[in-house]
């Protein structure tokens, strides 16, 4: 079974590792320690870590095996017509089909193993587990990097109730930053809001544009005027990182929003009720941050799109990297 999992990963172009479910329990304890020592901001805890205490999450630590895979992901381009111009906006890696990828990879692996191993999608601090197991290392921007892929990846995890050969010896001592980060300051200089510092390793999450772009509240006044081309997220630290040089793939999603579509999303049309055609078009973006119902767009979708279009630098998204 072990060799088959490795073969599967090799054929798909993924990196994979596995370990005992007890490692998840240790990772959760580590996060609790960081919370107690106030190393994590309250906003970050409330938004990204509050769910870790749920009983069903803790129960996953009883799994015989946890499998982690790193899947390369491209950025995506979406076109919006507005004020007589076409804006090619970027949806960074992991913002398209994030949830769907877990299920697709799980089903693919189970099929490859001829259904001899039942897999459950893992809900866990995947970055912590990937760093502890040696699958990934942290960059100074607090993103995880996998050798050969850079940070343009999505981590997916699964729990199984059967052993899978010899597992890696995962523990907190395995965690470390990329060696290049010890002297490099590229992401510190590139961050437009000062969220990355050489004074500490942890990101200042409450300053991060990506963090705020995912929330439904108002953007801080200074963020709302920043020129950018990502409809959610930022990517400034990833684009500037030497570890990522030449590794970003850009793929068009094939979705183009007309002037009328854009006006409806922004609330600028005479009739702001979205048509079913427009609702379906937005749903094909497969992004939890870009939601549209018959009642209208989510607040963050309208707010982010308005901010990006208002201060767009008119730079083509295709100049960011290779378009497939």
**Residue 168: Cβ within 10 Å count:** 16
Last residue in a domain, options 127, 159, 178:
178
Mean of pLDDT values over 280-301: 94
Dig out the tokens for 19 from the structure.
């370990």
Last residue in a domain, options 148, 178, 208:
178
Please state, for a pLDDT cut of 90, what percent of the chain lies above it: 56
Q: Which residue do the tokens 């470390």 mark? A: 176
Tell me whether residue 228 is in a domain.
yes
Whether residue 169 sits in one domain with residue 61: yes
27-36 long-range contacts, Cβ below 8 Å, gap at least 24? 27/124, 27/125, 27/128, 27/129, 27/132, 28/52, 28/57, 28/58, 28/61, 28/125, 30/128, 30/172, 31/125, 31/128
> For the chain, what is the domain count?
2
Whether residue 200 sits in one domain with residue 114: no
Whether residue 6 sits in one domain with residue 127: yes
Last residue in a domain, options 163, 178, 193:
178
Average pLDDT, the chain: 85
Distance CA(237)–CA(232), nearest Å, equals 14
pTM score: 0.86
Whether residue 199 sits in one domain with residue 58: no
User: Which residue segment(s) compose the domain that 231 sits in?
Assistant: 182-323
Whether residue 147 sits in one domain with residue 43: yes
Whether residue 221 sits in one domain with residue 166: no
Whether residue 141 sits in one domain with residue 188: no
Q: Is the dihedral of CA 194, 317, 320, 70 positive or negative?
A: positive
Tell me whether residue 139 is in a domain.
yes
Whether residue 163 sits in one domain with residue 212: no
pLDDT band at 313 (very low <50, low <70, confident <90, very high): very low
SS3 111: helix
SS3 316: coil
Mean of pLDDT values over 288-301: 94
Mean of pLDDT values over 11-29: 87
Whether residue 191 sits in one domain with residue 56: no
Asked if 129 contacts 157 with a C-beta cutoff of 8 angstroms, the reply is yes
CATH number of the domain that residue 54 is part of: 3.40.109
Q: Write down the pLDDT at residue 167.
A: 61
pLDDT digits (tens, 9 = 90+) for 190-201: 999 999 988 887
Mean of pLDDT values over 104-113: 95
Whether residue 168 sits in one domain with residue 237: no
Distance CA(215)–CA(35), nearest Å, equals 21
Tell me whether residue 84 is in a domain.
no
| Among the listed residues 127, 147, 77, 104, the one whose alpha carbon sits nearest the alpha carbon of residue 316 | 77
Burial 284-308 (b: 16+ CB within 10 A, else e): ebbbebbbbeeebbbebbbbbbbbb
Q: Write down the pLDDT at residue 133.
A: 85
Whether residue 248 sits in one domain with residue 144: no
Q: Which residue do the tokens 């439904």 mark? A: 216
Q: Write down the pLDDT at residue 49.
A: 60
pLDDT digits (tens, 9 = 90+) for 206-253: 888 998 888 888 888 877 778 888 999 999 999 999 999 999 999 999
Tell me whether residue 283 is in a domain.
yes
Q: Write down the pLDDT at residue 29.
A: 76
H or E segment and range at residue 67:
strand 65-72
Whether residue 220 sits in one domain with residue 115: no
């Amino acid at each position: 079974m072990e060799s088959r999992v490795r073969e599967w990963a090799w054929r798909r172009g993924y990196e994979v590792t596995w370990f005992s479910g007890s490692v998840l329990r240790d990772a959760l304890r580590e996060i609790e320690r960081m919370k107690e020592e106030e190393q994590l901001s309250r906003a970050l805890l409330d938004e990204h870590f509050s769910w870790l205490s749920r009983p069903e999450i803790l129960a996953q630590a009883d799994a015989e095996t946890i499998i982690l895979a790193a899947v390369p992901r491209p950025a995506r381009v979406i076109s919006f017509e507005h004020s007589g111009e076409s804006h090619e906006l970027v949806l960074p890696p992991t913002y398209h089909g994030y949830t769907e990828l877990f299920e697709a990879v799980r089903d693919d692996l189970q099929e490859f193993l001829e259904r001899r191993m039942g897999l459950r999608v893992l809900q866990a601090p995947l970055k912590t587990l990937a760093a502890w197991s040696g699958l990934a290392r942290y960059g100074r921007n607090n993103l995880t990097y996998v050798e050969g892929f850079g940070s343009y990846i999505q981590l997916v995890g699964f729990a199984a109730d059967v052993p899978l050969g010899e597992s890696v010896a995962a523990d907190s001592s395995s965690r470390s930053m990329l060696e290049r980060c010890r002297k490099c300051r590229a992401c510190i200089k590139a961050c437009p809001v000062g969220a990355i510092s050489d004074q500490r390793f942890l990101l200042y999450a409450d300053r991060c544009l990506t963090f705020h772009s995912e929330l439904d509240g108002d953007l801080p006044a200074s963020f709302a005027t920043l020129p950018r081309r990502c409809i959610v997220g930022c990517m400034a630290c990833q684009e500037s990182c030497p570890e990522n040089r030449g590794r970003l793939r850009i793929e068009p999603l094939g979705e183009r929003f007309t002037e009328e579509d854009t006006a409806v999303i922004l609330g600028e049309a005479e009739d702001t009720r979205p048509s079913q055609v427009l609702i379906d078009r937005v749903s094909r973006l497969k992004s939890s941050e870009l939601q549209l119902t018959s009642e209208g767009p989510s607040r963050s979708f309208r707010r982010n799109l308005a901010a990006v279009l208002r201060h767009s630098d008119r730079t083509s998204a295709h100049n960011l990297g290779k378009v497939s």
